[in-house]
């Protein structure tokens, strides 16, 4: 199957084919071919058209109007779930019939497609229930279900609706239909039914097989049940069929397989040395460190022999002809390993990561283990004793547990209880845990358990339609049992100590239960029982939240142990599964979403975009990125392991966990330490054997890619330094240059004019750093500390190791000669980063020459450093202040700011200014940078550019001081990037006009809901549709910022509040306005990355990225440099802003703006408008405006009486934006400096402002700019 396909609009042929009763069907079916799949139109980068419009994704009638349809559909799903759980096939069939009718009825006008997809899933579940039930099902029932399905397809096809099926999904569905028919035939034969029963089944089988052009050879190979194979042979007279004939579908399948990049099928002859089940706890949970042990201890063997060197090195040493065979078998082995791991990923619990024998003998570990085992048993017993849910449940709680019976068979109650307890203990750093967060987490785990269950667990699959409320009620019930069953014992002396260091309000909920221990001679040794967990309700203004508290004694003990929260995603041991839908791809069986976030409106829009084929290119990008194979850098892993053993920590790695008073600082450091311990454990799991691993990626709503695993190259400096490519490539002619370049780029720009000069100056530093990176007695000059002075010290150290290896390679190869260097096999990634990439995109859009020069879009002899340029402008402004300040205190303060001013201090505010950082946010960035300077001086004075006297002053640096610098930095940015700022302002003002627009559909919706918002609609407009645009690569960016909506429901522990993203709520105007510009730029850098990724992969390069930082092998960096420049030019070579403007205009095509004219200035106009509105028969101005909006929407705007008057008098119209007033026209808004006193409201069509004029930058100059990315 081709990678890009227009989503199939129908699975059904134009007509149904019939055959004679006694004819040998097999031969006929073998000759039935299928047409080749149609190639989809690629998503282009130029020209406005369907690919550059989001209007087809949004239908306000569909997206806004909540009505009985939604309730009815959810009711059908709920009934179906209950019927399936009771094996009531007849009831399921009846509900399926109603579902089909619902989908057909509600497909008019475009339909939501969500109901269609869910109907198809329920249909497949029913077919599996039929096949697995083995009870005789009359063929007429199967026929009825299939005919309903075909009717749905036909009706949707008539309406031009696309279903978005992939070929595999169609094949699976048809296979299920044929299995149900074959089972009916087998049972009819077994029960001795006459030909009156069997012949119609044979005919119907032939009809379905020919309609869907089924290849019988392929069908027979997919059947595993002997009874179904026998039925197939009997129906088709298979022994008479011409099985040697190859059909067109055979050829297509062959071609598809040969061109596919999918994984080799797991071989059943590749058993793992240690099955994953042997690593599980008795409760069925999987400890984090045991999951790591499973990866490490199941090592691949080649031809029966152990591989004693890193696997990536072993693979590198193989002959070329052996490498293909090796990787095929290696990935087959790893695919089995990965599939087993994914079955338990959601059950992973993290505790005691540092589990060497000495620590495992610690008293608390034994105490904790005993506690948990006891708590799990006690909670399980409590539930079994208090609830009868196996037969005839009576109470609501028992009915709830009964409903989840199928679920408990794959996720036992003990495992759920264990997971809940570990989740609570993993959140010890929070002190008080919001119940809503716990419910979200557990609901997520339940859903993943259902999705990873075997497809044979049909009843469990039905649970996917269980409401979120039911999952939350289950969690409530079990958590309530946990809290009543989990207790700890404390002596009087322990309790006394706790009471001294713990506030009374914290201790109050944990009063002793009164159960004393016995046999103690001394009173201070007497023990009392206390609840381990308690709940409380916190009132915050009008909101109430239920919180879970952990006993202070547990907090004290757990703070000094290596708990690290909940389960997490691991890197994959094989390439990710190809993405074919918003929820289908990535992990092999572990379900992940294509786009981050939990807003259901967002997902709804993406599903529609998928059906329209607008996500295919995005799927391809994730597939391409996921194919990059990584390995762990052995040298850096050794350094990491050594650092973790240091008693006082090292750079950003805190010291080992300590028990002490639970201050926030101690808690933060402990949490940071736990994180590094988890990363270290993972790195060793994948690194010791030298395994290949892969990352699964997902997008945010702007199209930016993010890896799911906690071990990824997006991490901070130390984590990034661990990553190297699995495959090595010779350095070639320029590779060594790029290694030197990488080293130089990791330092703040210095006096060296080139990386060659940097290398020659620091060659000895590099060699010594690689020899003894952590040796404090390296030499008298303390050169070992040189690498720690870098901006990214650990990444620099990784380069030092690699350069030292290159020099060693030259020496061992006989020295002299570039040929020796070119042969060196290198897997260290080299990266190039954009120069403040957001400003680069703004300069490209605005064709801004001055801004382009500052961010290296224009060729120059030396690299331009925008951060240094801003620093210089800030210095100039501070000097101006010094000259005009009058008091000595002001002068001294300004001089001190000048003394500490550096490129590093201005860098973060400049870098994030384009991404919408607020003034307060920028102040925090500077404050944090000052704090880091002070902290780093304490750890490593040689790395600091300031002396001790300056550091002393910096300790008292205030937010007021930061505010002064931020104002100067922002003013300097505005001065340097004038034209770029115009585009930013255009985006903000445009979003404000869209969000403050009026339309009849929103008015009708508010009226239908009898909303209070209707009373203030014309003073405070509301908007329900998100702002959206299509990125240059066709990705639909849907900016969904909505007012929060909560739902209150009751559980075992009382009322609780959950997020309700099903409910439509007004857009959050403030968030939209703050986010529109940064999100827009993010969508551009995401598009540039996707375009570069595609071109790099097609050119045979290994590619990875971190947003605007692109990685590849050293030998390929020059090729990647050319590609990324070409793609930037391609992205900015057409008038993309014109496309965006047209897209936004489409979104407000039927909307109006409420603007004002001055009553006194246009008195005659006012009197005429007043007379027209008097005829509406409405009293208040709000009612009059409501009537006017309705009448405007029922005719052409030009034909309305008020509109004609506006055209006749041409008054100056004003637009009010908060406390500001602007003239309203299509030009850039001009603010007026007075307040309108007497103003008259009128509606005009929304005008999207004209785009800012462009400069004269030749964008093709980027192709020649050496320092564009560097």
Q: Taking each helix axis from N to C terminus, what angle separates 68-85 and 114-133, rounded to the nearest 10 degrees?
A: 10
Show Cβ contacts of residue 207 under 8 Å, excluding neighbours closer than 6 positions: 16, 17, 18, 19
Asked if the model's pLDDT at residue 1127 lies above 80, the reply is yes
Q: What is the DSSP letter of 1029?
A: E
User: Does 1.10.150.20 match the CATH number of domain 849-976?
Assistant: yes
**Antiparallel, parallel or unpaired: β 487-491 and 1220-1223:** unpaired
As a whole number of angstroms, the longest Cα–Cα distance in the chain is 110
- Is 70 exceeded by the pLDDT of residue 536? yes
Distance, CA of 1224 to chain centre? 40
Q: What percent of the chain has pLDDT over 90?
A: 20
- Which uninterrupted H or E stretch holds 649? none
Q: Quick count: other Cβ atoms within 10 Å of Cβ 353?
A: 22
Q: Which of 128-132, 184-188, 710-714, 1121-1125 has the lowest mean pLDDT?
A: 128-132
Spell out a b/e string for 61-83, using b for 16 or more CB atoms within 10 Å of the CB, else e.
eebbbeeeeeeebeebbebbbbb
List residues bridging with 1028 in a β-sheet: 1038
Mean pLDDT of 241-266: 36
Residue 17 has pLDDT above 60, yes or no: no
CATH 1.10.287.280 spans which residues of the chain? Answer: 729-826
What tokens were used for 419? 């997971």
| Gyration radius of the chain over CA positions | 34
State the Cα–Cα distance between residues 602 and 591, nearest whole angstrom: 18
Least confident range of 317-331, 749-763, 1226-1240:
749-763
CA 423 to CA 946: how far, in whole Å? 45
**Lookup: tokens for 263:** 């994984």
* Region of poorest pLDDT, from 440-449, 509-518, 1039-1048: 509-518
Query: Residue 777: pLDDT above 80?
Result: no
DSSP per-residue codes, 1235-1246: --SSEEEEEEE-
Compute the distance between CA of residue 879 and CA of residue 538 in angstroms, rounded to an integer: 52
Separation CA 681–CA 287 (nearest Å): 12
Using 50, 70 and 90 to split pLDDT, how confident is the model at 1220?
A: confident
* 637-647 pLDDT, tens digit each: 999 999 988 88
In the chain, CATH 1.10.150.20 sits at 849-976
Q: Which residue has the higher pLDDT, 81 or 1047?
A: 81
pLDDT category at 42 given cuts 50, 70, 90 is very low
Q: Please indicate whether residue 606 or residue 782 has the higher confidence score (pLDDT).
A: 606
Residue 252 falls in which region: left (phi positive, over 0), alpha (psi -120 to 50) or beta:
alpha
Note the pLDDT of residue 51: 45
Within 8 A by CB and 6+ apart from 559, the residues are 428, 429, 657, 659, 660, 662, 666, 667, 670
pLDDT value at residue 815: 60
Taking domain 729-826, whether its CATH number is 3.40.50.300 is answered by no
pLDDT at 882: 85
Residue 1265 above 70 pLDDT?
yes
Q: Is the pLDDT of residue 1076 over 60?
A: yes
Q: Is 946 helix (H, G, I), strand (E, B) or coil?
A: coil
Tokens 């399905």 appear where? 149
Q: Are 1120 and 728 in contact (CB under 8 A)?
A: no
- Looking at residue 1003, its pLDDT comes to 87
**How far from chain centre, in Å, is Cα 199?**
53
Q: What is the pLDDT of residue 270?
A: 45
What value does the mean pLDDT of the chain take? 78
Q: Which pLDDT belongs to residue 849?
A: 87
DSSP code for 1175 = T
Using H for helix, E for strand and C for coil, what is the string for 951-999?
Answer: HHHHCCCCHHHHHHHHHHHHHHHHHHCHHHHHHHHHHHHHHHHHHCEEC
Task: Average the pLDDT over 1024-1053 and give the result.
Answer: 79
pLDDT score recorded for residue 1256: 87
> Please, which pLDDT band fits residue 523 given cuts at 50, 70 and 90?
low
Q: What is the pLDDT of residues 798-827, one digit of tens each?
A: 999 999 999 988 888 776 656 688 889 999
Which of 82-96, 461-475, 1108-1122 is the least confident region? Answer: 461-475
pLDDT of residue 3: 27
Q: What is the pLDDT of residues 1090-1114, one digit of tens each?
A: 999 999 999 999 999 998 899 999 9
Q: To 10 degrees, the CA torsion angle through 631, 632, 633, 634?
A: -120
What average pLDDT does the segment 719-735 reach? 94
DSSP 16-62: -----SSS-HHHHHHT---PPPPBPPPPPSSS-SGGG--TTT--HHH
| Better-predicted residue by pLDDT, 110 or 1033 | 1033
Compute the average pLDDT of residues 480-494. Answer: 81
- Please, are residues 1267 and 864 in contact by the beta-carbon 8 Å criterion? yes
CA distance 637 to 221: 47
Exposed, middle or buried, 1011 (CB in 10 Å: 0-12/13-18/19+)? middle
d(CA 677, CA 656): 9
Residue 826's pLDDT is 94
* Structure-model confidence comparison of residues 659 and 592, the more confident one: 592
For the stretch 1135-1181, pLDDT in tens is 999 999 988 988 888 899 999 999 989 999 999 999 999 898 888 88
Query: Alpha-carbon distance 676 to 670, whole Å?
Result: 10
Confidence class for position 451, pLDDT limits 50, 70, 90 = low
pTM of the model: 0.79
- Determine the 3-state secondary structure of 155 from DSSP: helix
> What mean pLDDT comes out for the span 26-33?
30
pLDDT tens column, 120-132: 888 888 888 787 7
Distance CA 810, CA 235 (A): 72
At residue 658, the pLDDT reads 64
Q: Confirm if 435 and 547 have CB atoms less than 8 A apart.
A: yes
Q: Cα–chain-centroid distance for residue 945?
A: 39
Residue 5, classed as helix, strand or coil, is strand
The pLDDT of residue 424 is 79
- At residue 1207, the pLDDT reads 92
- Average the pLDDT over 491-510 and give the result: 69
Active site residues: 833, 907, 1108
Q: What is the pLDDT of residue 1057?
A: 64
Rounded to whole angstroms, how far apart are CA atoms 123 and 106? 18
Q: How far is CA 657 from the centre of its chain?
A: 31
pLDDT for the residue numbered 37: 25
Q: What gap in Å lies between CA 1213 and CA 1243, rounded to an integer?
A: 10
Tokens 């529609």, located at residue: 608
Q: What span, in angstroms and rounded, lies between the C-alpha atoms of 631 and 624? A: 18
Judged against a pLDDT cut of 90, whether residue 1120 lies above it is answered with: yes
CB 988 within 8 A of CB 1076: yes
């Amino acid at each position: 199957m081709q990678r890009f396909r227009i989503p199939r609009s129908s699975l059904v042929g134009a007509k149904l084919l019939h055959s004679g009763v006694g004819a040998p069907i097999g031969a006929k079916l073998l000759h039935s071919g299928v047409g080749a799949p149609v190639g989809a139109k690629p998503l282009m980068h130029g020209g406005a058209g369907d690919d550059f419009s989001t209007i087809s994704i949004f239908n306000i009638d569909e997206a806004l109007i909540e009505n009985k349809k939604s309730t009815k559909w959810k009711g059908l799903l709920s009934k179906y779930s209950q019927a399936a759980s009771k094996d009531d096939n007849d009831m399921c069939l009846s509900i399926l019939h109603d579902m089909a009718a619902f989908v057909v009825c509600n497909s008019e006008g475009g339909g939501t497609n969500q109901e269609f997809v869910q109907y198809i899933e329920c249909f497949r579940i029913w077919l599996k229930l039929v096949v697995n039930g083995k009870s005789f099902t009359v063929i007429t029932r199967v026929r009825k279900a299939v005919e309903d399905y075909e009717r749905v397809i036909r009706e949707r096809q008539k309406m031009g609706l696309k279903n978005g099926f992939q070929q595999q999904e169609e094949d699976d569905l048809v296979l299920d239909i044929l299995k149900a028919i074959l089972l009916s035939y087998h049972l009819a034969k077994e029960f001795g039914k006459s030909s009156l029963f069997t012949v119609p089944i044979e005919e119907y089988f032939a009809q379905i097989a020919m309609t869907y052009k089924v290849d019988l050879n392929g069908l027979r190979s997919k059947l595993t049940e002997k009874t179904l194979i026998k039925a197939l042979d009997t129906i088709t007279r298979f022994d008479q069929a011409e099985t040697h004939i190859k059909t067109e579908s055979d050829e297509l399948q062959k071609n598809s397989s040969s061109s596919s990049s999918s994984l080799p099928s797991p071989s059943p002859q590749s058993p793992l040395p240690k099955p994953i089940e042997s690593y599980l706890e008795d409760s069925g949970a999987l400890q984090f460190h045991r999951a790591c042990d499973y990866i490490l201890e199941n090592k691949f063997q080649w031809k029966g022999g152990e591989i004693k060197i890193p696997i990536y090195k072993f693979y590198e040493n193989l002959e070329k002809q052996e490498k293909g065979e090796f990787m095929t078998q290696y990935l087959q082995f790893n695919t089995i390993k990965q599939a087993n791991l994914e079955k338990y990923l959601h059950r992973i619990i993290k505790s005691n990561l540092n589990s060497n024998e000495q620590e495992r003998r610690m008293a608390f570990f034994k105490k904790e283990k005993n506690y948990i085992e006891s708590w799990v048993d006690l909670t399980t017993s409590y539930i079994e004793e208090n609830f009868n849910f196996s037969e005839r449940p009576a109470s609501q709680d028992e009915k709830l547990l009964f409903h989840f019976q199928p679920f408990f068979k794959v996720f036992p109650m003990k495992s759920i209880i264990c997971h809940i307890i570990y989740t609570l203990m993993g959140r010890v750093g929070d002190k008080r845990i919001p119940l809503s967060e716990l419910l979200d987490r557990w609901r997520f785990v339940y859903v993943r358990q259902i999705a990873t269950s075997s497809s044979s667990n049909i009843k469990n699959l039905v649970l996917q339609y269980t409401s979120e409320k039911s999952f939350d009620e289950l969690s409530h019930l079990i958590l309530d049992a946990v809290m009543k069953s989990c207790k700890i014992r404390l002596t009087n002396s322990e309790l006394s100590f706790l009471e001294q260091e713990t506030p009374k309000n914290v201790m109050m909920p944990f009063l002793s239960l009164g159960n004393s221990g016995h046999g103690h001679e001394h009173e201070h040794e007497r023990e009392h029982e206390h609840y381990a967990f308690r709940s409380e309700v916190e009132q915050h203004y009008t909101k109430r939240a239920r919180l879970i508290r952990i006993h202070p004694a547990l907090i004290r003990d757990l703070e000094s142990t290596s708990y690290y929260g909940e389960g997490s995603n691991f890197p994959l041991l094989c390439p990710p599964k190809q993405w074919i839908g918003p929820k289908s791809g990535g992990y092999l069986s572990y379900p992940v979403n294509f786009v981050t976030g939990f807003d259901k409106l967002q997902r709804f829009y993406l599903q529609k975009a998928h059906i329209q084929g607008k996500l295919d290119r995005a799927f391809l990008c994730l597939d391409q990125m996921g194919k990059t194979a990584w390995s762990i850098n052995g040298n850096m892993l050794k350094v990491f392991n050594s650092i973790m053993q240091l008693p006082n920590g090292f750079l950003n790695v805190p010291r080992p966990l300590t028990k002490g008073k639970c201050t926030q600082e101690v808690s933060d450091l402990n949490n940071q330490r736990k994180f590094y311990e988890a990363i270290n454990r993972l790195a060793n799991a994948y690194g010791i054997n030298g395994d290949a691993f892969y990352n699964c990626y997902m997008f945010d709503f702007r199209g930016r890619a993010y890896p799911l695993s906690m071990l990824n190259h997006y991490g901070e400096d130390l984590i990034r330094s661990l990553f190297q490519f699995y495959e090595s490539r010779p350095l070639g002619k320029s590779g060594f240059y790029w290694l030197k370049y990488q080293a130089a780029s990791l330092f703040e720009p210095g006096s060296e004019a080139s990386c060659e000069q940097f290398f020659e100056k620091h060659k000895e530093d590099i060699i010594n750093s690689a020899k003894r990176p952590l040796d404090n007695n390296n030499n008298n000059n303390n050169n070992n500390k040189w690498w720690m002075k870098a901006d990214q010290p650990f990444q620099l150290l990784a380069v030092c190791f690699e350069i030292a290896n290159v020099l060693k390679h030259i020496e061992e190869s006989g020295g002299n000669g570039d040929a020796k260097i070119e042969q060196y096999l290198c897997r260290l990634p080299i990266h190039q980063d954009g120069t403040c990439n957001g400003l680069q995109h703004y300069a490209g859009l605005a064709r801004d020459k001055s801004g382009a020069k500052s961010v290296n879009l224009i060729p120059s002899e030396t690299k331009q450093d925008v951060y240094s340029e801003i620093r210089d402008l800030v210095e100039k402004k501070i000097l101006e202040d010094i000259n005009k300040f009058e008091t000595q205190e002001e002068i001294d303060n300004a001089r001190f700011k000048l003394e500490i001013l550096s490129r590093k201090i201005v860098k973060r505010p400049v870098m994030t200014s384009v991404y919408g950082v607020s003034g307060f946010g920028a102040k925090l960035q500077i404050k944090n940078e000052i704090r880091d300077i002070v902290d780093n001086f304490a750890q490593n004075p040689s790395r600091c550019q300031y002396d001790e006297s300056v550091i002393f002053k910096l300790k008292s640096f205030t937010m007021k001081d930061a505010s002064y610098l931020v104002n100067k930095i922002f003013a300097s940015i505005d001065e340097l990037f004038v034209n770029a700022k115009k585009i930013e302002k255009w985006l903000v003002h445009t979003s404000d006009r869209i969000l403050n627009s009026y339309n009849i559909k929103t008015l009708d919706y508010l009226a239908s809901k009898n909303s209070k918002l209707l009373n203030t609609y014309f003073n405070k407009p509301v908007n329900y549709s998100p702002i959206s645009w299509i990125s240059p690569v066709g990705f639909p960016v849907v900016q969904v910022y909505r007012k929060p909506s909560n739902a209150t429901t009751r559980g075992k522990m009382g009322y609780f509040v959950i997020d309700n993203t099903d409910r439509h709520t007004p857009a959050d105007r403030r968030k939209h306005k703050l986010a529109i510009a940064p999100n827009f730029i993010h969508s551009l850098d995401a598009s540039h990355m996707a375009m570069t990724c595609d071109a790099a992969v097609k050119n045979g390069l290994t590619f990875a990225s971190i947003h605007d930082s692109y990685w590849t092998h050293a030998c390929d960096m020059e090729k990647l440099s050319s590609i990324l420049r070409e793609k930037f030019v391609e992205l900015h070579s057409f008038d993309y802003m014109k496309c965006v403007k047209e897209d936004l205009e489409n979104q407000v095509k039927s909307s109006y703006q409420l603007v004002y004219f001055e009553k006194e200035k246009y008195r005659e106009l006012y009197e005429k408008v007043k007379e027209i509105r008097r005829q509406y028969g409405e009293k208040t101005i709000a009612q009059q405006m409501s009537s006017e909006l309705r009448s405007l929407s029922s005719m052409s705007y030009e034909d309305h009486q008020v509109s004609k008057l506006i055209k006749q008098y041409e008054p100056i119209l004003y637009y009010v934006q908060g406390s500001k007033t602007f003239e309203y026209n299509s030009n850039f808004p001009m603010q007026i400096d007075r307040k309108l006193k007497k103003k008259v409201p009128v509606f005009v069509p929304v005008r999207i402002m004209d785009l800012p004029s462009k400069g004269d930058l030749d964008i093709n100059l980027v192709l020649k700019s050496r320092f564009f990315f560097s």
